[in-house]
Amino acid sequence: MQMMGFAWIFALFLVCAIAYKPLTKPSGIHWFQFLYFFSSFWGQFGPNATTWLLPGELFPTEARAMSHGLSAAVGKVRKEKKKKKKRKYFAFRRQFIDKPSYIPGCPGAG
């Protein structure tokens, strides 16, 4: 389902991109709207159905809640690791890169 939905969306957007000039003229605007709305249908039918509707019906609420909580926890751990790495980088930068220096005879330095 998901692959079929993405394939149709790709094909419809490709048609919109290739025939953009004639489709945006007043005589072709209804076809452009049709292609856009039809691609929205395939987005809801394919990817949306397999990522939200099917899990909502197949898995119990407790399993979905635990998965959402686990995903949030992993995101928070990753954020903390990134903050720590950033602190190390800026400490290094303050120590070595942003260190003011004085070069005699060089205007603007120091």
Overall number of domains in the chain: 1
92 in a structural domain: no
Whether the Cβ atoms of residue 42 and residue 9 lie closer than 8 Å to each other = yes
108: left (phi over 0), alpha (psi -120 to 50) or beta: left
Range of the domain at 29: 2-58
For the record, the structure tokens of 36 come out as: 């856009």
Give the residue among 89, 84, 106 at the shortest CA–CA distance from 98. 89
Cα separation, 110 vs 103, in Å, equals: 7
65 in a structural domain: no
Tens-binned pLDDT, residue by residue, of the chain (110 aa): 889 999 999 999 999 999 999 999 999 999 999 999 999 999 888 888 888 788 888 889 899 899 889 999 999 999 999 888 888 877 776 666 655 555 555 555 54
78 in a structural domain: no
87 in a structural domain: no
For the record, the structure tokens of 70 come out as: 């686990």
89 in a structural domain: no
10 in a structural domain: yes
Cα separation, 15 vs 21, in Å, equals: 11
Q: Please tell me whether residue 37 adopts helix, strand or coil conformation.
A: helix
The size of the chain, in residues, is 110
76 in a structural domain: no
Question: Is the whole model's pTM more than 0.75, yes or no?
Answer: no
